[in-house]
Amino acid sequence: MPQISIHGREIEVRLIPGVATGCPPLVFLHEGLGSVSMWRDFPDHVARRVGAPALVYSRFGYGKSTGLDGPRTPRFMHDEALDVLPALLDQLGIIKPVLIGHSDGASIALIHAAASGRATTAVVLMAPHVMVEPISIESIAQASETYERTDLRARLARHHVRVDDAFHGWSRIWLDPRFRTWNLAAEAQALAVPALLIQGEDDEYGTLAQLDAIGEVAKGSVQRLVLADCGHSPHRDQEAKVLDAIAGFVSGVLAAAA
């Protein structure tokens, strides 16, 4: 995968060409343990359905990107959304993207769209976090035990050059007592672009209160898709329905703007 230098550090990127004219680029923002490779071919399927070019990248500490430069702070998602992501978009000449985020990546997409001051066409937020719930803490604590006692580390190492950066960078800040009061209430209220919110009924990392906290206060139009028989990764558990929803949502946004 090609790499792009941001602030003197390397970020793994993957670019998918588009076929439609006038279609805003899609930018995929991965989950707390994700990477370019962990998206698999889902971005290709979305880009093909929409006809848009797409960017997939691994944040620092993930995939083949440069490792973390220190412990994360409770503002780590804001740092990504307001510092790293704008620099990356500028380097690639991407303007007015559709941000498609999953889990932590969905939270980063929300922050960027609401607080960066940069033009965003729309956001797709899959299993977003806007507050810290007990279910999140319990599941991450359990994942930490699994990481130490099973082959989870070896399985994640297939996707991350610096696997301990990826896992501990995610788990330790989420389990840090300082993080318990973290929330995106202000950003949710400031969200003024069209949003598609997607979550599984069986999400082990959050409840539907996360979607409520966005949909009840956002300034822009909000569509909501709640999927049965679906956990924390809607694009894997219910891929066909998620593809249909995203394609229909983006088409509607473009038609309304025409």
pTM: 0.97
Per-residue pLDDT of the chain (258 residues; tens, 9 = 90+): 689 999 899 999 999 999 877 789 999 999 999 999 999 999 999 999 999 999 999 999 999 999 999 999 999 999 999 999 999 999 999 999 999 999 999 999 999 999 999 999 999 999 999 999 999 999 999 999 999 999 999 999 999 999 999 999 999 999 999 999 999 999 999 999 999 999 999 999 999 999 999 999 999 999 999 999 999 999 999 999 999 999 999 999 988 887
Cβ–Cβ under 8 Å, residues 214 and 191: yes
- How far apart, in whole angstroms, are the C-alpha atoms of residue 120 and residue 112? 8
Class of domain 3-257: alpha beta
